[in-house]
Chain A
Amino acid sequence: MPPNKRDWRPYKTKMSRTILINVLRFLALVFMQVFLLKNITFYNLATPYFYILFILLLPFEVPNILLFTLSFVLGLTVDVFYYTPGLHAAACVVLALVRILFISITVQKDGFDNEPEPTLSIMGFRWFFTYAVVLTLVHHFFLLNLEVFSFSEIQYTLSRVALSSLFTVFLILISGLLFYRRKERK
């Protein structure tokens, strides 16, 4: 809710800006995932699932119901291109829950006004790195185990989880550094 009448207009333009940025981010990440990263793999072990960056970068203030809906929709969109309905959606919903828990533990609620989005430039390297690693590991763990759906290959799956997470976190950090300056100046 806007605090008073004078703040109303800037609040609204700021919000529509956030929506626009997130819609563009959604499209760009899904496009990149299904047409570029889908074809990249190292020794059948490391496959990046970079699209989760969208959920990672949603603003702090986003309501839980919207967060879960967006995660679900993002997962399903990727699923449509991977021909695996429900798989990525399930992993993304888990990711959303872990995001809520992680943020409620590590970030004070009254700090939201100054820190609208959990990006690398706003939150600092240490916090963002931990955030990205924890969330990526959880997402990949669920995704790859659900895909294989058997315990007999668990060792192989775990090594895939570890190496793919490494790859994804690497891409997330690089993208964070790429957009570092622009966000700070604002």
Chain B
Amino acid sequence: MRNLWAFIRKYNAFFLFLIFEISSLIIYIKYNSFQKASFLNSTNAVTGTLFKQVDAFKSYLSLREANDSLARENAKLRGEVKSSFYVDSVEKRKVNDTVYKQQYSYIVAKVINNSFNKRSNYITIDRGSKDGIQKDMGVITGAGVVGQVIDVTEHLAIIQSVLHKNTRFSAMLTNTKDIGSFVWGDDLDPHKGLLIDIQNNAQPKIGELVVTSGYSLFPTGIPFGKITNLHAKGGGLLINVEVSLAVDFTKLQYVYVVNNKFAAEQTGLEAVQNKNE
């Protein structure tokens, strides 16, 4: 027994190494499978406030760009409101429109932490469950798709960015409506993504817009980006194309969280269907 003790003492560095290394690897691996919910919840309060304060200072440096993008978006929206259309009929009637029921609403949020140079990138925003944000909501900007909410606290939420190794969104080509999956390429370029698994009778063209298909969290037609290369590697039987991202993730400032009002209904219905099979 004493020999064993002496042995452990002599090589204490190695045993300490084993203990600490194993515990950190356990944390790391557990975090991967449990989607890190508990870890983030407990630390978010501290890091969130710190990030918020630093960001309050940093946002002054890019006010001009934020203004530009907001102005551009305003102009675009202004073109879509009713008052900008010429009314043909002389008599104006107020129509209580029951044909359309609002399906999507948007919650604006400010990005307070962002990364784009790792294999798995996350974005933190300053809105949380208090403002109606829930897990699995989609996130967009005026330019295009940003990601998906994966964790929410009362005042903050974490978004799994498109620049993440597990990101996979349903997407389609604008012209032919061929469906594929949108993923991030493995070369860590924050300006490029891949549209994979398109049926091989489709004929994508360079410069064609890739948009959301409406099968997922987003409204139909939110852009991912434009096709830049038709022969991305690893195509096989299906076609893979390279897409330059519409959103500049290095300069994110404000995002919109998409609230799909029918989402709960849809998942509930589909769950029932799955159970019946």
* Minimal beta-carbon separation of B45 from chain A (angstroms): 11
| Given contact pairs A35-B54, A44-B190, A148-B119, A86 touches B29 in the complex (Cβ within 8 A) | yes
| Given contact pairs A87-B28, A90-B24, A156-B187, A97 touches B17 in the complex (Cβ within 8 A) | yes
Contact present for A90 and B21 (CB under 8 Å): yes
* Minimal beta-carbon separation of B3 from chain A (angstroms): 20
Contact present for A44 and B122 (CB under 8 Å): no
* Minimal beta-carbon separation of B118 from chain A (angstroms): 7
Q: Name 29 interchain pairs, CB-CB below 8 A, sorted by A.
A: A38-B115, A41-B117, A44-B190, A65-B12, A68-B16, A68-B17, A68-B19, A68-B20, A69-B20, A72-B23, A80-B46, A81-B47, A82-B115, A83-B122, A83-B158, A84-B31, A86-B26, A86-B31, A89-B24, A89-B27, A90-B21, A90-B24, A90-B25, A93-B17, A93-B21, A100-B13, A101-B13, A146-B28, A152-B186
Tell me, yes or no, whether B33 is within 8 Å of chain A by CB. no
Known: A44-B117, A80-B43. 12 other contacts (CB 8 A): A35-B54, A44-B189, A64-B12, A68-B20, A69-B20, A72-B24, A86-B25, A86-B26, A89-B24, A89-B28, A96-B17, A156-B186
- Count B interface residues, CB 8 Å: 36
Residues of B in contact with A (beta carbons under 8 Å apart)? 12-14, 16-17, 19-21, 23-31, 36, 39-40, 43, 46-47, 54, 115, 117-120, 122, 158, 186-190
CA distance A147 to B19 in the complex (A): 21
Tell me, yes or no, whether A133 is within 8 Å of chain B by CB. no
- A94 contact set on B, CB distance < 8 A: 17, 21
| Given contact pairs A97-B17, A148-B119, A83 touches B54 in the complex (Cβ within 8 A) | no
CA distance A174 to B52 in the complex (A): 31
* Minimal beta-carbon separation of A68 from chain B (angstroms): 5
Q: Which residue of A lies closest to B55 (CB)?
A: A35
* Minimal beta-carbon separation of A153 from chain B (angstroms): 6
- Count A interface residues, CB 8 Å: 35
- How many residue pairs between the two chains, A and B, have CB atoms under 8 Å in the bound complex? 84
What's the dominant secondary structure at chain B's contact region?
Answer: helix
Tell me, yes or no, whether A118 is within 8 Å of chain B by CB. no
Contact present for B20 and A72 (CB under 8 Å): yes
Tell me, yes or no, whether A47 is within 8 Å of chain B by CB. yes
Residues of A in contact with B (beta carbons under 8 Å apart)? 35, 38, 41, 44, 47, 64-65, 68-69, 71-72, 75-76, 80-87, 89-90, 93-94, 96-97, 100-101, 146-148, 152-153, 156
- B19 contact set on A, CB distance < 8 A: 68
Contact present for B117 and A86 (CB under 8 Å): no
Which of B24, B30, B46, B47: most chain A CB closer than 10 A?
B24
CA distance A70 to B179 in the complex (A): 51
* Minimal beta-carbon separation of A42 from chain B (angstroms): 9
Q: Which residue of A lies closest to B19 (CB)?
A: A68
Which of A68, A83, A156: most chain B CB closer than 10 A?
A83
CA distance A56 to B237 in the complex (A): 51
Contact present for A80 and B27 (CB under 8 Å): no
Cβ contact of A64, chosen from B13, B46, B54, B190, cutoff 8 A:
B13
Q: Which 10 A-B pairs have the closest CB atoms?
A: A86-B28, A86-B27, A89-B24, A90-B24, A41-B117, A93-B20, A97-B17, A44-B188, A85-B31, A68-B16
- B12 contact set on A, CB distance < 8 A: 64-65
- A96 contact set on B, CB distance < 8 A: 17, 20
